[in-house]
Amino acid sequence: MTPAAPDSTVAAPPALELADLEVAYRVRGIWRPVLRGVSFTIAAGESYGLVGESGCGKSTVAYAVLRYLARNGRISGGSVKVAGEDLAGMGDAQVREMRASKVSMVYQNPGGALNPTIRIGDQVAEVFVIAGINPKLARERATEMLTKVQISDPESVMRRYAHQLSGGMQQRVVIAMALAKDPELLILDEPTTGLDATVEAEVLDLVSLLREEFHTSVLFISHNLEVIVKMCDRVGVLYAGRLVEEGRADDVFNDPRHPYSVGLLRCLPSGGVRKDKQRLDTIPGFLPQLGAELPACVYVDRCGLAQEICSKEEPSFHDAGAGRHSRCHFWEQAHELPRATPASAAFNPVDQSAQPVIRAESLRKTFRQEGHAIRAVDDVNFVLRPGETLGLVGESGSGKTTLARTLLGLTSPDEGSIIELDGRPLEKAITNRGRDDVRALQIVFQNPDSALNRRFSVRRILNRALEKLRGDSGREREEHLRELAHSVRFDTRLIHSRPAQLSGGLKQRVAIARAFAGEPRVVVCDEPTSALDVSVQAAILNLLAELQADKGVTYLFISHDLGVVRYLSDRIAVLYLGRLMELGDAETVFSAPHHPYTEALLSSVPQADGEARERIRLQGEIPSHANPPSGCVFHTRCPRYIGDICHEQEPELKEVEPGHFWRCHYSVEELRELQKTAPPERPAGAPAPEDER
Amino acid sequence: MSVPPKPAPAGATEIGTASPAAVGARGDEARLALKERLALLRRSKSFIAGSIIVGFWVLCAIFGELVVPEDPLATDPINDLMTPSADHWFGTDRLGRDVFSRVITGARDILIAALLATILATVVGTALGLVTGYFRGAVDDVLSRIIEAFLALPVIIMGLLVTVSLGRSNTTLILTIGILFAPIISRTVRAAVLTERELEYVSAARLRNERTPYILFGEILPNVTGPIVVEFTVRLGYAIFVAAGLSFLGFGIAPPAPDWGLQVAEHYGLISGGFWWPVLFPSLAIATLVIGVNLIADGVASAFER
């Protein structure tokens, strides 16, 4: 990351200049302000990050810059200048010209950004054709462009359709198209949010690299502070449509000067914080409603530092030196913000000698698809002890969810698989399980919008669970309903609401309450916080930790966010292509030596703590389940590839230290030594990674 | 095991500050959204126009017999085929019956038949759609092929078949149309269910070991009512048309009932002789009713598909 070199850019006008930008949306006949006086400047060649929780107006900024607001939106004040030209003075033709040549945008969902019926080559070439280049030359330029975004076989990719590419490849194509016209400004709106950590890391590296090559200015929008810090020179923190803090990315991250930025950073489970040490801090309250009348300071209602002056007098954008600005009366004391949630954590250590609640042995699940056998889960063995959390990590397609569904009885495992509950075999299909077995295993899904029936009230959802799982009725049910709502800190006054009337965090609390209705022994948490904002995520993680300490429940916790997994897990299982690659205590797995795949996963997490770390890139994509690589399934992408033994012989899952298992030909000592340094380039003679399925 | 101290309620978690006022505002928004949908329906010009037309025919169906000037079944062979006049606004037919009275009272049979047939089709189609959409695999394959076979049958053949086996009556008409339309509705419902079944609330229900009928009708059905309502109104329009058509062909309501299709069938041969009124007025009645229902369907579709 090179900061904008001021000397070379003195002459060039700023790539983007927003002055007091106001945007309003008309909802039910009323104009509701969404952006309220947003001002910032992106110098030529600079990369600027915009961060904030959902509903803060981040994407609206992007659309306003492109003059592509939704039909019910309008710029109601202020000005937008792109490369020195004022948008307000532009006619439609000029706006089109600007979009065609000066500004590009990359959206969150690359699958939706590509036309499914046009071949990739034609789509990329189209950008050049529009710029007036003849079609034949345009195709050549398209090939060049795809090479630049590190697509290894551009000729073959150009002949394909969007659905034939993986998410990471699609996003590369979209970036290629965005940069094809050599824009002054590239807007990236959550470009890696839907991608796996390993793919995300690659895409981010690519963007950094291309930015240096093209000298493009970047507006990077993300809810993920770590990504922003990694990618941006400067950052603006947006809250309720107002810029509350601005400064160099490192400064804002290491020494935030606005209570909101402080709060956001404290919510993150980073730096190895664990549930047995402390609870995460949270941000109380909610974002103001769209277009609501705002108090003098937009953040006063949620701020632990607020005093009388805050609701009377609007804070100015205080200059905190070195390009720092904070819209807070008490910016100098921002770091003294009191915790909103006490740090003290109740915790019951896991009894390692206790009989396991769940024991899974030789767990296999094979799907049949067009004559192919797809082994989604292959020979997985593990135990869950009472009161512990087993974290399950791996890229998408590694079989995490299938494993969970198999355990729950929603999908039946293959013959020969053994699942035991409290030492006795469990029926494979849920329909054959008795009530006690059914209530013993429950799940919290990722997305509460889809997990809660939108037609039912909270009361009906929870009552049904109590009836079916506990056999409750009448007064007893009412009693349990109150207890249940209380245990997940759900306000009983909201019990008659439907899910759509609740915020994301409250909906997830209802989903958790439903899972706990039958006093389960084991709860599977399938990415329970990945659809939530960080402050809400912190509250939910705290709740899960508290429920565990209180009820002694066991969690199987699935997440792609390693910080979250680390916070909650006692032990961690790493899955790749349906196989267990590593299993051990959380801290053992997180500290070297680890399995080479775990090593790669860990190093792809953007580090916000400023600690520079050698990154390990996983090359290529996850191989096809239908045709897994020979020998060790990871050998095609392994950064520590040894030699022929890796593709000839599949390593056993062996106990390398007490309680620490991995599936690798290397021994602990060898990897401990090797992992002191980053791996070299892929060893010569290693088979080329498969780029596509 | 100790319960961790509950955080101080003063805005400690996001619940803490979920003040009833803030949540009340959310509740209001949801209610507003529903009101908005109804207001949208009320503002829809096609819905209003359709409602007026259909409303008129519904009134005729209910009160027609009480207000018409003559008994629609009373023949008067001496005054047959009289041109429209002050005595007989729409003239008389070949048996001297008052065409106006027959058109007005004719609304009842066709409305009842079409409505019942559509209800039958919707109930059967919804059940079929839920089952085929929820169970994939063999159940879906077998049922879907049968449904497709029904879809391929021409209306006339079906009508003939049912009439021959059950005799000519209102019931026959209702059954014919019901059986014919159920597969069409089932396809729409099936498509909606295919999306719903992938949602996790269905898995959550299975994890409570709910019985399949409850999952289908208790959990999924309430979430697919939108498309079902739209499909119902659309099919009602078609049902009226098909009912009139079958009556015209002699598969429907038996004479001497004042049915519109029957009236057209009995007199269309006389048009060449200049006797246009016994055909034109019942035809207009069919046309207005079908158009009216379709206008309502347009309004409902646009309000429910937003």
pLDDT one-digit tens code per residue, A434-487 = 989 999 999 999 899 999 998 899 999 999 999 999 988 889 999 999 999 999
pLDDT of residue A614: 61
A494 interaction partners in chain B (CB closer than 8 Å)? 18, 23
- The partner residue sitting opposite A341, judged by closest CB among B12, B36, B222, is B12
pLDDT one-digit tens code per residue, B215-255 = 999 999 999 988 998 999 999 999 998 888 888 888 777 77
Arithmetic mean of pLDDT, A616-642? 81
Q: Is A470 on the interface with B (CB under 8 A)?
A: no
pLDDT of residue B185: 94
Does A72 score more than 60 pLDDT? Answer: yes
Q: Which of A341, A411, A450 to mutate to test the interface with B (most CBs of B within 10 A)?
A: A450
- How near does any CA of chain B get to the CA of A153, in Å? 36
Q: Is A27 on the interface with B (CB under 8 A)?
A: no
Q: Is A299 on the interface with B (CB under 8 A)?
A: no
Does B12 score more than 50 pLDDT? Answer: no
A345 interaction partners in chain B (CB closer than 8 Å)? 4
Do residue B208 and residue A464 have CB atoms under 8 angstroms apart? yes
Helix boundaries (H) for A333-431:
400-408
A396 pLDDT band (50/70/90 cuts)?
Answer: confident
A289 interaction partners in chain B (CB closer than 8 Å)? 22, 25
pLDDT of residue A4: 45
- Total CB pairs under 8 A between chain A and B: 134
To the nearest 10 degrees (0 to 180), the angle between helices A197-214 and A167-180 is 10
**CATH of the domain spanning A12-102+210-341, picked from 3.50.50.60, 2.40.30.10, 3.40.50.2300, 3.40.50.300:** 3.40.50.300
B34 pLDDT band (50/70/90 cuts)?
Answer: low
B305 pLDDT band (50/70/90 cuts)?
Answer: low
Do residue B14 and residue A284 have CB atoms under 8 angstroms apart? yes
Does A570 score more than 50 pLDDT? Answer: yes
Share of chain A above pLDDT 90, in %: 40
pLDDT of residue A100: 85
Does A195 score more than 90 pLDDT? Answer: no
Position with higher pLDDT, A45 vs B19: A45
pLDDT one-digit tens code per residue, A262-295 = 999 888 887 778 888 888 888 888 888 777 788 8
Q: Is B204 on the interface with A (CB under 8 A)?
A: yes
B16 interaction partners in chain A (CB closer than 8 Å)? 284-285
A682 pLDDT band (50/70/90 cuts)?
Answer: low
Listed in order, the ranges of chain A carrying CATH 3.40.50.300 are: 12-102+210-341, 358-453+516-576
- How near does any CA of chain A get to the CA of B187, in Å? 23
pLDDT of residue A139: 92
Question: Read out DSSP for B157-215?
Answer: HHHHHHHHHH-SSHHHHHHHHHHHHHHHHHHHHHHHHHHHHTSHHHHHHHTTT--HHII
In Å, what is the CA distance from A200 to each residue of A167, A195, A533, A578, B291?
10, 6, 19, 21, 56
Does A684 score more than 60 pLDDT? Answer: no
How many Å apart are CA A120 and CA A665, to the nearest integer?
40
How many Å apart are CA A393 and CA A538, to the nearest integer?
19
A344 interaction partners in chain B (CB closer than 8 Å)? 4-5
B137 pLDDT band (50/70/90 cuts)?
Answer: confident
Count of H helices and E strands in chain B? 11, 0
Q: Which of A13-27, A529-543, B73-87, B274-288 has the lowest mean pLDDT?
A: B73-87
Chain mean pLDDT for chain B? 82
Cis peptide before A593 (omega within 30 of 0): yes
pLDDT one-digit tens code per residue, A346-377 = 777 888 888 999 999 999 999 887 778 888 89
Chain mean pLDDT for chain A? 87
Q: Is A483 on the interface with B (CB under 8 A)?
A: no
A510 pLDDT band (50/70/90 cuts)?
Answer: very high
pLDDT of residue A123: 92
Search chain A and give the residue with CA nearest B198: A450
Please state, as a whole number, how many other Cβ atoms lie within 10 Å of the Cβ of residue A476: 12
pLDDT of residue A612: 47
| Residue position matching structure tokens 């909103």 | A340
pLDDT of residue B8: 34
Search chain B and give the residue with CA nearest A432: B209
Going from N- to C-terminal start, the domains of chain B cover 41-64+80-304
CATH fourth-level superfamily of B41-64+80-304 = MetI-like (1.10.3720.10)
Does B306 score more than 60 pLDDT? Answer: no
Does B30 score more than 80 pLDDT? Answer: no
pLDDT one-digit tens code per residue, A236-269 = 999 988 999 999 998 998 889 999 999 998 888 8
Arithmetic mean of pLDDT, A415-436? 91
Q: Is B86 on the interface with A (CB under 8 A)?
A: no
- The partner residue sitting opposite B1, judged by closest CB among A451, A494, A552, is A552
Share of chain B above pLDDT 90, in %: 37
Arithmetic mean of pLDDT, A298-307? 87
Search chain A and give the residue with CA nearest B39: A28
Q: Is A385 on the interface with B (CB under 8 A)?
A: no
Q: Is B17 on the interface with A (CB under 8 A)?
A: yes
pLDDT of residue A163: 86
Do the bridges between strand A185-189 and strand A217-222 make them parallel or antiparallel, or are there none, so unpaired? parallel
pLDDT one-digit tens code per residue, A89-120 = 888 898 888 888 889 999 888 888 899 999 99
Q: Provide the token pair at A590.
A: 């997180």
Q: Are A33 and A76 in contact (CB under 8 A)?
A: yes
**What's the topology of domain A358-453+516-576?**
Rossmann fold (3.40.50)
Do residue A549 and residue B200 have CB atoms under 8 angstroms apart? no
pLDDT of residue A686: 55
Name the nearest CA neighbour of A238 among A110, A64, A122, A463.
Answer: A64
Arithmetic mean of pLDDT, A416-422? 92
Search chain B and give the residue with CA nearest A468: B208
Provide the ipTM. Answer: 0.82
B21 interaction partners in chain A (CB closer than 8 Å)? none
Search chain B and give the residue with CA nearest A442: B207
Q: Which of A32, A411, A501, A556 to mutate to test the interface with B (most CBs of B within 10 A)?
A: A501
Arithmetic mean of pLDDT, A181-198? 87
- How near does any CA of chain A get to the CA of B127, in Å? 19
Do the bridges between strand A217-222 and strand A242-248 make them parallel or antiparallel, or are there none, so unpaired? unpaired
Do residue B14 and residue A506 have CB atoms under 8 angstroms apart? yes
Does A692 score more than 60 pLDDT? Answer: no
Considering only residues 533 to 592 of chain A, which have any Cβ-Cβ distance to chain B shorter than 8 Å? Answer: 535-536, 539, 542, 546, 549-552
